[in-house]
Structure 1
């Protein structure tokens, strides 16, 4: 299964940026902004001159001057000035000069650029130097909160780039604010007035005059630094965070612009979906209204720190991870924000402790397939409501059992309810649609620390951070404080070896195996076959890819893939397996594009004989036919069940084979039903969620049931094993269809309830893989062999299973 980390959230237009004074601290922090009118509050481009060294010029160098109207210095660490030609083409590139230091309060900062061949006067000592050769008459200069070259080439695209703080186009520049500034030439620059007036129209804000460069030391031949206009101390607006969050899932302020919302910064996310969380230290006492809020800064790295007291303005937005059509819930947040830091080093609000009694046992309110968005939150009744009522707020957990192993994105599932449906190995088992285990909670680290936890381990000590929501996993803790892992001692299962008179049959999803995988994957999977499964007589494999993996060039054969796997099994001390499979029609069986996954039988020819009957191919249906001796046989072997049926559209077709063990027939049906992709999430806004993918699996189950029923109608004593990755639960509608009429018994149901799992997803131990047998298979000895799903270093995301019988 391909996962997308919650932090990597796709967005539309980027936020604009501005820098605001911090007021009470006497220093300045640059934060996301929206364009504003005169006069600017702090840093801006104050003068641009591209005529340095040209004919008639006095100054030898081009320059860019920055000004700061604020009463505090403006830190330029990580900033740059950039230049673009006046008439850019698709191949035009921005040129970059990185900046260091700061613009003094009320002062200027001088950036020296390329030197021309003429002129006789050097610039005042520059504060930064570059080599950009600017045009004297037309071009664009930008002040950018990044040292990475811009990519925008139009005025509209640049206006949407959140890293640009100020932009000046002069002459005939295509990229500009409003109309371009006029008056630039070999002997003239364009400059703002002494108050750095900014109306977002370059032609109104800049005039042409003799160059007057000024540096941070006050050196220069122009006018003295302007007298700054005092900035009033910001004050909180009329709305607080709980007013924005409201008592339902959708903010009552959704789509509106709010100003000067007070809060203390509790967490900062500087990668992926960048932004920060604020929380009101003065809650309203209503348990249904959250006191926390995410401030989305777009591509700009937040410059606030945990403990900053801020006033934030911006547009209230409901963001749906994965898109609204995915069925996910939304995150209430501020976009296009501006912020003023009032003070730093404040104590953050106390985190609310989540223990075994905090989250209600009931998971979600029900809306009979409709949306729960408009319902009033009942945090005392439903776990999803409790988490939504704490969206953006600091929460804290103590020692917690891990129920979902750490994945590649450093996500780890824990349970806050250790007594809730525990498995013998430390997980939490899924027992039905009506009980998705409300105590599960995802932990994602913001600290940079990497966990490597297995199911049954303990995340010990304090783990705390804001509550967030993502399409994958739902509600989670964005941990700013992370506990440590205490091993639980979990070890991989080893299956019992069957007796010599017992046939052993296994199923194993090997997760898109192909020759482009490292040999180590083949070796570990092979060790699982030999050691953990005790080298079964027959192994039904799922997700064997073609000979060049995901390269989509028409290749459908898989002999190279299978031979490499068989060689790895022999190297691990296993038998010399033989194999049978049917190549699919190219790109018709779903799975990874170009991979052409299929089901494959491995069998030990020293123990079993495969009965080959010619004629089976990708489009020919296998049938159960009478053998003329009151028995039954396959029309083709190997064969596929009704491969042209709509039930198998873009999905794997079941592989059927006839085997002989000690002279007795055994029919094996290897399956890989269509995935659960497209189903509404368990944690989503639609309750109960619609399981749209179930329709096709139900049709597939009916096809297999019909085939097995037809075979048993010709020989009721036939031994049939149906197995594979059925992508659904033992209590699901497709499994009910598959076992309809009593033709098959699902062996997972013969295990204790808390052992019925072969896969762990979102912290739930659940069953997707199955082995089913016909009534003639007596006293089957069945085992799920846990070697992958509970471990952070898993080779596949599925656990194999094996059955032994006489």
Structure 2
């Protein structure tokens, strides 16, 4: 009989999606809030499941699974499992008393209440049965070295002397160990530790996934009997699972990788003489490599050893393996050549190469670096580009979106470090991060060059490429199998124009720090020092002045290098929420910009007199370079509670290039900065629930906001006498989603897709949540657009919120990772209306002028002062003589149509229309004035 192997729960790939949806920025980096729940506890709560017997459940019964991480059995006599709802008290909860013992390295299953659907699968025979009806979404469970009911509350319970372990899960849990609760669950999912990780931090240690109940008395199966000789290909078979599961086998092969530390506890074995050219594969459809589970064998054997191994075959969470009982190095030599192959696109093709040593061929690109900061895994995409959000490519539910999702699945692969270590936990934060510590930025979109062979591995519900030994910074020169292209750009590309407009989400820039308020709770660094506000107060940014300084330094560097004349900001503090002037944080940012770029370089647009009755603690705003731009008139806020009751109100301002003509709207543009409702939670409207079509929650709210924005922009533009409108900001909608389509259907052009770049990276794929959209009256004056990938493509380790969360401090004062969104820059060619046919001035498409007694209209645009940089003509003759003698000139009150910029002669003077005038359609148009240009 082979030894019973503890269950390994879901790892970083599965966890990334769940954690990212429920945890605020910085959740995974925090040190434990309560030290009494120790990483060295003799027994831990390993898994909890509360959906038993409900609709969509995996089992008919709830359960709590315990785990003994030690090498000695532990008696549970006199212990109890105690339960409380997410916000309830232990005194009003429930309890199951325990008995018996939990074996060394083993599990102990506590079955709880059975649900209404008893036809669902039953649990394995439990060790103890209780009656607790657990929540299917979130609650609290404590393992107590007593049967007395807990009398503690909140975080104090983690420090109670009798508490061995405590886990809170779900966003509402008010007691937990460490920085935050474990992820929420559904009827179909449990929360379980990642490979039994126990850093005393629920947020870092647990992931949501498929329930895997295991009891100390779980039947290990039938006796495998005497070992039979089998090749590795025969062990693997040609299907997803081995045909020899449960059998004892003896096989031989060459050791290609060893992992005695870091949690894998085994090695890879491959049949001697295999690899090299795929055309020479003697066992097509069946892999010639297998994982051997034995920490002792991995510690004793070396890569290149030709060995014989005897043990039982099993399938462990999708990975075929042999649990080794004995092993011996053979006298005859053997060798393996890395298989030179491109990435296998289907699961069947990957199964046929499971465990094989590869020399990857073709292009690979970084597509995900979020978990690089915690589990040292890098998401790759086979090919020359990262994976893309399906609704960035096609409409929700469309063939294009489906094809993109299929392409993502075919090209995705992890590049791992040969370990399951969580470097974000308190227990491991003193160990420097692999991959990042060596100096490579490991940016999304960077090309990957493999310099050493890798093993094709399956764990954490994903296919991955493992180095041949565990990767740590001290052995990187000998072990690291890949290097990465440096794609950083010091500044965005030139966009041209007479006015450059940018948009920038500044990641909760709050100059009111948490320590200035009461009730704030924090995400802390590895020393326990607060870094960012978690909850408990209205602040959302830096915890203390030193943290704000780090954040502000990077934001200022980024805004300065962006090169914009006007920058629309999102996620900046609304200082009115803290009893200050509404513009205080905005003023503080401008002071910092001027300290960086020189006094008077920057200014901000003051808040308008009319403000909404209710606002969020974050807001939208404008800053501008005084030498490049001038505001025209006051700013305006859209106050529409039916649309923006759950989002930040749009802010509009008319701008012109510095030195422009205030009375002439010809060089004006209306800029509106926006921050729509986020995708993470459902708003109040029917249709706000997440339907699973890729648009996330609150799509109806964002559609309402987009619709209201169109009307608001029209009103502001009409009052300004211009049809030039630029909508910018964080719309929380990818390019093909409903809210963006509302705007494009209204005549706006989304400029971001013209760049081939994206502003955001989430869950292993890129897409644009931030947008710049030009009105039909502005589009021909757009001279260029660029998305500056200064933030979203960078590892989160460089963010101010991750300062000192790992032994290697990756923060610097550069613009890189100043936020989680990338800024957009747009160039606009704005100039006063044309005063005469032959002067050096800008004529816009549709402008009308009189010349030699005829009326002409510009069909293209023309820059008379820059003949090498513009497109000329043609001009179309559109009407009867305009410059006439008295008596034949069309009457001022006639039905003639004059366009903005038209020039006519009347009473011996030349007059130009400063606005537009439709005398034949009074009531639908705007009138005069006309500007006297002088004698005819």
Give TM-score scaled by structure 2 length: 0.44
Q: From the superposition, tell whether residues 491 and 566 of structure 1 become closer, same or farther in structure 2 (CA, over 3 Å).
A: same
Q: Do the aligned residues in 2 keep the contact of 1:639 with 1:656 (CA within 8 Å)?
A: no
Q: Do the aligned residues in 2 keep the contact of 1:540 with 1:723 (CA within 8 Å)?
A: no
2:791 maps to 1:785: no
Match of 2:505 in 1: 509
Alpha-carbon distance in structure 2 between the residues aligned to 1:383 and 1:82:
43
2:350 maps to 1:390: no
Alpha-carbon distance in structure 2 between the residues aligned to 1:4 and 1:570:
46
Match of 1:642 in 2: 642
Match of 2:463 in 1: 475
Q: From the superposition, tell whether residues 87 and 565 of structure 1 become closer, same or farther in structure 2 (CA, over 3 Å).
A: same
Question: Counterparts of 1:219-368 in structure 2 under 5 Å?
Answer: 236-237=227-228, 247=238, 249=240, 251=241, 257-260=246-249, 262=251, 264=253, 265-269=255-259, 273-281=263-271, 285-294=282-291, 303=299, 305=301, 306=303, 307=305, 309-313=308-312, 315-318=314-317, 331-333=318-320, 337=323, 339-343=325-329, 349-354=336-341, 358-359=342-343
Task: Find the partner of 1:804 among 827, 830, 843.
Answer: 827
Q: From the superposition, tell whether residues 6 and 240 of structure 1 become closer, same or farther in structure 2 (CA, over 3 Å).
A: farther
Q: Do the aligned residues in 2 keep the contact of 1:498 with 1:804 (CA within 8 Å)?
A: yes
Deviation at 1:343, TM superposition (A): 3.0
Alpha-carbon distance in structure 1 between the residues aligned to 2:412 and 2:79:
53
Match of 2:456 in 1: 466
Deviations 1:328-379 (A, max 9, x none): xxx33559x553223379756433223xxx34xxxxxxxxxxxxxxxxxxx6
Match of 1:534 in 2: 563
Match of 2:737 in 1: 733
Deviations 1:225-278 (A, max 9, x none): xxxxxxxxx9644776656655455x3669x64434646554344566533353
Deviations 1:113-136 (A, max 9, x none): xxxxxxxxxxxxxxxxxxxxxxxx
2:553 maps to 1:523: yes
Alpha-carbon distance in structure 2 between the residues aligned to 1:245 and 1:555:
68
Q: Do the aligned residues in 2 keep the contact of 1:245 with 1:290 (CA within 8 Å)?
A: yes
Alpha-carbon distance in structure 2 between the residues aligned to 1:463 and 1:512:
43
Match of 2:593 in 1: 569
Task: Find the partner of 2:678 among 671, 674, 681.
Answer: 674
Deviation at 1:529, TM superposition (A): 0.6
| Between 234-243 and 390-399, the greater mean CA deviation after superposition | 234-243
Name structure 1 gaps, 5 residues minimum.
11-78, 92-152, 165-173, 176-233, 319-330, 360-378, 424-428, 548-552, 590-595, 614-633, 679-688
Q: What SS class does the counterpart of residue 674 from structure 1 fall into?
A: coil
Deviation at 1:534, TM superposition (A): 1.1
Deviation at 1:563, TM superposition (A): 5.3
Q: Do the aligned residues in 1 keep the contact of 2:257 with 2:455 (CA within 8 Å)?
A: yes
Q: What SS class does the counterpart of residue 572 from structure 1 fall into?
A: helix
Q: Do the aligned residues in 2 keep the contact of 1:402 with 1:412 (CA within 8 Å)?
A: no
Deviation at 1:770, TM superposition (A): 1.7
Q: Do the aligned residues in 1 keep the contact of 2:495 with 2:826 (CA within 8 Å)?
A: no
Q: Do the aligned residues in 2 keep the contact of 1:400 with 1:460 (CA within 8 Å)?
A: no
Q: Do the aligned residues in 2 keep the contact of 1:657 with 1:669 (CA within 8 Å)?
A: yes
Deviation at 1:800, TM superposition (A): 1.0
Match of 1:443 in 2: 415
Alpha-carbon distance in structure 2 between the residues aligned to 1:416 and 1:309:
35
Match of 1:494 in 2: 492
Deviation at 1:702, TM superposition (A): 2.4
Q: Do the aligned residues in 2 keep the contact of 1:312 with 1:339 (CA within 8 Å)?
A: yes
Q: What SS class does the counterpart of residue 694 from structure 1 fall into?
A: coil
Deviation at 1:772, TM superposition (A): 1.0
2:158 maps to 1:158: no
Alpha-carbon distance in structure 1 between the residues aligned to 2:297 and 2:102:
18
Q: From the superposition, tell whether residues 84 and 764 of structure 1 become closer, same or farther in structure 2 (CA, over 3 Å).
A: closer
Match of 1:685 in 2: none
Q: From the superposition, tell whether residues 644 and 496 of structure 1 become closer, same or farther in structure 2 (CA, over 3 Å).
A: closer
Deviation at 1:477, TM superposition (A): 0.7
Q: Do the aligned residues in 1 keep the contact of 2:632 with 2:655 (CA within 8 Å)?
A: yes
Q: From the superposition, tell whether residues 493 and 733 of structure 1 become closer, same or farther in structure 2 (CA, over 3 Å).
A: same
Q: From the superposition, tell whether residues 9 and 314 of structure 1 become closer, same or farther in structure 2 (CA, over 3 Å).
A: farther
Alpha-carbon distance in structure 1 between the residues aligned to 2:480 and 2:13:
18
Q: What SS class does the counterpart of residue 312 from structure 2 fall into?
A: strand
Q: From the superposition, tell whether residues 302 and 580 of structure 1 become closer, same or farther in structure 2 (CA, over 3 Å).
A: farther
Deviations 1:537-559 (A, max 9, x none): 23222x44689xxxxx9999997
Deviation at 1:764, TM superposition (A): 5.8
Deviation at 1:771, TM superposition (A): 0.9
Q: Do the aligned residues in 1 keep the contact of 2:313 with 2:320 (CA within 8 Å)?
A: no
Deviations 1:611-637 (A, max 9, x none): 668xxxxxxxxxxxxxxxxxxxx6xx2
Question: Counterparts of 1:99-178 in structure 2 under 5 Å?
Answer: 158-159=102-103, 161-162=105-106
Q: From the superposition, tell whether residues 759 and 710 of structure 1 become closer, same or farther in structure 2 (CA, over 3 Å).
A: closer
Deviation at 1:747, TM superposition (A): 0.7
Q: From the superposition, tell whether residues 421 and 81 of structure 1 become closer, same or farther in structure 2 (CA, over 3 Å).
A: closer
Q: From the superposition, tell whether residues 507 and 386 of structure 1 become closer, same or farther in structure 2 (CA, over 3 Å).
A: farther
Deviation at 1:81, TM superposition (A): 8.3
2:788 maps to 1:769: no
Q: What SS class does the counterpart of residue 274 from structure 1 fall into?
A: coil
2:578 maps to 1:578: no
Q: What SS class does the counterpart of residue 355 from structure 2 fall into?
A: coil
Q: Do the aligned residues in 2 keep the contact of 1:275 with 1:302 (CA within 8 Å)?
A: yes
Alignment length (residue pairs): 505
Alpha-carbon distance in structure 2 between the residues aligned to 1:6 and 1:584:
43
Q: From the superposition, tell whether residues 238 and 566 of structure 1 become closer, same or farther in structure 2 (CA, over 3 Å).
A: farther
Larger helix proportion, structure 1 or 2? Answer: 2
Deviations 1:42-83 (A, max 9, x none): xxxxxxxxxxxxxxxxxxxxxxxxxxxxxxxxxxxxx99879
Deviation at 1:579, TM superposition (A): 5.8
Alpha-carbon distance in structure 2 between the residues aligned to 1:304 and 1:498:
64
RMSD: 5.4
Q: What SS class does the counterpart of residue 749 from structure 1 fall into?
A: helix
Q: From the superposition, tell whether residues 690 and 86 of structure 1 become closer, same or farther in structure 2 (CA, over 3 Å).
A: closer
